[in-house]
Amino acid sequence: MLSRVFQAYGHVCAAHPWEVIVGTITLTSCLMSMSLFTGHDKICGWNYVCSREEVPHGPENIFLTVARCAAVLYIYIQFRNLRKSGSNYLLGIAGMFTIFSSFVFSSAVVNLIQADVSGLKDALPVFLLLVDIKKASALAKLALSSKSEMEIKDHIAQGMSLIGPTMTLDAIVETLVIALGTLSGIRQVEITSNFAWLSVVTNYLAFMTFYPACLALILELSRDGHGGTPMWYFHQKFAKVLQEEEEKKPNPVIQSIKVIMSAGLVLVHAHSRWGGEPSEGILSDGLSQLDLDTLGLQQEVTPDQSLWQFYLLSALQMDTDHVIMLALAAFLTVKYIYFDYDLDTQINLINNKVSPRPEGEDCTMGISTSTKEVEDDVISTATKSRHASFIIGDDDSSSESEKESKETQTELNDLFKPLTLRASSPPRDLEECKEILNSDEGPDELTDEEIMLLVKDKHIPSYKLENILGDYKRGVAIRRKLVSRTLASASAFKNIPYDNYQYKYVDGACCENVIGYIPVPVGVAGPLLLNNRQYQVPMATTEGALVASTNRGCRALSMSNGVSSVVIGDSMTRAPVVRLPDACKASQLKRWLDIPQNFEKVKESFDSTSRFCRLQKIQTCQAGRTVYLRFIALTGDAMGMNMVSKGSERALRVLHKQFPDMETMSVSGNYCTDKKASAINWIEGRGKSVVCEATIPASVVQSILKTNVQSLVDLNISKNLIGSAMAGSVGGFNAHAANVVAALFIATGQDPAQTVTSANCITLMEAVGKDRGDLYISCTMPSIEVGTVGGGTILPPQAACLQMLGLHGASDTSPGQNAAELASVICATVLAGELSLMSALAAGHLVKSHLKHNRSQLNVIPSLPTVKEDQSSSERTKITR
């Protein structure tokens, strides 16, 4: 809960940086004004003569000097450690934060002590000793690891959710503990304690207000000032930085102890400060009259200089210990700027250690020549530059043609060109590689051979290569090399492309252990006239004649006033299987769900899991003491399997409360049914249930389809109806609906495995019209499982195919409309394919058309051996109708 509050707060600060910065600066200015003009009117040394405080001598003076110098050294070490990260931005941001915090603290001290400006000399070293730049740099790392402008605010918000609660509790504990020193009764300890707790508070306030806003503003301005190209990109990826910060989260037990200790300290302060009546002679400001006399505050004098001159001269007056501290600070500053070049040199050496392989140089140390020659032909280069790059916004210097070539539509030579991995010197030992991987430098400083060494040692899981490396292409390239060493033929990867693909859409959504992608030809059939609207239908297939045949059917339909469609059902299903102690209890569950009030309870819980998923009914089936609960729900424009699964799990919790002895065996009990041929989907429907119909004039049947109506009707009865029934087919009363469904599914990013149920179809043909010379054809498909959002629809090529149909994404007007329209397009295209194929069969043209369109003159791609020409025609022609 507390993390969410800090996350929301961090997002507000990052989203409105100007407002936060201006507000903070305004508040600081008011604080300074109060200290200068509304402070105590008795200013010691200016208008009142005070007794001179005792100056520390001997061991006490040495101790204070050492403490001040330690504070300066501490800050120097923190900045030196930041410099090792190689990011000048971290240095600048952390330095700016420190300076601003010091400024706020100084002004606050002036207001607190009012008359004793000399106390600032003691305050600043104490502040430097307590300030923690690590938290500031951690938040900066999270922000700098953003891949886009939109991620900056989210990353800052997530950083605040991780760092904010811990820092808040630590600040409270530190303040309460340090403030105990103000109760000591020793003046010097009291002054130092005041400085210390005030430094903790001001550092916390600056971190929680000014810092995240300033961080977001700096990154935004750096982008705008460089034409949209982010000059601040930090090489460590967000996932790794976030994981590091999460690992640093303190033990909950320790946090609980801190909370208890804070409560105790609050009671101590309350009792000590307000527990009793002030003693006689104590003034409201805590000083006795005797103290005032001792300090000489009653000896008023006329000032001989202005107040600001007095403050300036007081600040410039330094004792020996202050001179030593300033000299050390100056020395370390000069050393840091001019003499700590060894850090930069080490960073540059590491960054430049991985260089392109010189021509003719062997880059596979320790690998045999034969293996090296094979692998050099197989593996592609991971990257041309050390860091993954990205562009915020729409700014890109590439031309439109160049952008297109960088996508998946590339030349054959670009896709299959042999590339090489990074050149590498002999791999470093395993322990050193582990240290580098976990350091700020990260995996970018490791060669590919060293990464593979870590994978073999199980230190890097193979399936997490992309996330750990922060470079999708490099992760794929290294995995290809690892896998190629285990293959019977290492050259198998030669013609599996992996370059020029946007793997960021695949990661965590579409595929794991990626080694490349398979280009599939995409054809277009159309225009398809459906419901008085024309569609160009994309079809991804490797079966010759399919697109040509479907295209002929679309032409015949367009010449016949097109196709009409109606969606008669819309519901996605998931059927958990539960078991009860006996059949009697199982029947009680079934009857309980039949009561409308009980169904509403389950529906309320189910619907709470999504904005779009809405439970329609629950279909139950009992077998012994086992009950199958088929949840049927609307899912908007998504295919909806995940939605319904999530809702089903939530609904089962309600049932568990009513039936405590109910055992959930599986969230899917195969009664859904998903990706398996089943009568329940054929009868009850699943996904979108669609009916398409068209009437083809006799003239079009004869001129375009080259057959006659009676032949088509007779063939449909004999083949699609009687033949399928004799085969015991379930939902297979068609010629080749699965062909068209699979081609459209692959093109538009649907789940190809769901072709099994989505291709359920019955094709009917009748002779109608005058003299029964026209052809009426309809296709009824009760279980088309499709969506226009989620899954493979996020991949750019598949999204482009949906855009061809005007159906990409969710509907702006009615949730579910785009998915329903896509199902109608699929059913209408199936009708076109059925019409054309049945006509070819009736006219005896099928074998002829396949020999023309499905027999390639080039059996394989050029880089592979060609197939002998003595292969028979029967082996090359696939007729499965």
Q: Which residues are catalytic?
A: 543, 675, 751, 850
DSSP lists the bridge partners of residue 300 as 48
Which of 577, 672, 660 has the alpha carbon at shortest distance from 626?
577
Rounded Cα–Cα distance for residues 630 and 593 (Å)? 12
CB atoms within 10 A of CB 856: 10
CA distance to 48, 172, 479, 597, per residue, from 498 (Å): 81, 53, 11, 55
Which of 823, 740, 316, 746 has the alpha carbon at shortest distance from 520?
746
DSSP lists the bridge partners of residue 732 as 761
DSSP code of 734? Answer: S
CA distance to 126, 134, 346, per residue, from 171 (Å): 15, 15, 36
Q: Which two tokens stand for residue 868?
A: 């002998």
Residues 6+ apart with CB under 8 A from 496: 515, 516, 517, 518
Length of the chain equals 881
Rounded Cα–Cα distance for residues 466 and 732 (Å)? 43
Which of 527, 526, 524, 535 has the alpha carbon at shortest distance from 821?
535
Largest CA distance in the chain: 127
DSSP lists the bridge partners of residue 784 as 688
Rounded Cα–Cα distance for residues 642 and 660 (Å)? 26
Rounded Cα–Cα distance for residues 550 and 721 (Å)? 21
Rounded Cα–Cα distance for residues 768 and 774 (Å)? 5
Residues 6+ apart with CB under 8 A from 287: 295
Which of 237, 262, 281, 266 has the alpha carbon at shortest distance from 387?
237
Q: Which two tokens stand for residue 818?
A: 């785009």
Amino acid at 736: H
DSSP lists the bridge partners of residue 688 as 570, 784
Q: What is the dihedral of CA 737, 741, 744, 749, to 10 degrees?
A: 180
Residues 6+ apart with CB under 8 A from 489: none
Half-sphere exposure in the Cβ direction for 655 (13 Å, CA): 29
Q: Which two tokens stand for residue 439?
A: 């350091």
**CB-based contact 643:651 (threshold 8 Å):** no
Helical residues (DSSP H) of 704-845, grouped into ranges: 709-716, 724-726, 737-748, 755-758, 796-805, 817-843
**CB-based contact 81:347 (threshold 8 Å):** no
User: Could you write out the DSSP letters of every residue in 178-232?
Assistant: HHGGGGSS-HHHHHHHHHHHHHHHHHHHHHHTHHHHHHHHHHHHHHHTTTT--TT
Helix, strand or coil, per DSSP, at residue 843: helix
Rounded Cα–Cα distance for residues 839 and 837 (Å)? 5
CB atoms within 10 A of CB 18: 10
Q: Which two tokens stand for residue 121?
A: 């000399």
Q: Which two tokens stand for residue 146?
A: 């953003």
**CB-based contact 193:179 (threshold 8 Å):** yes
**CB-based contact 191:125 (threshold 8 Å):** no
**CB-based contact 678:732 (threshold 8 Å):** no
Amino acid at 89: Y
Peptide bond into 461 cis (omega under 30): no
**CB-based contact 704:552 (threshold 8 Å):** yes
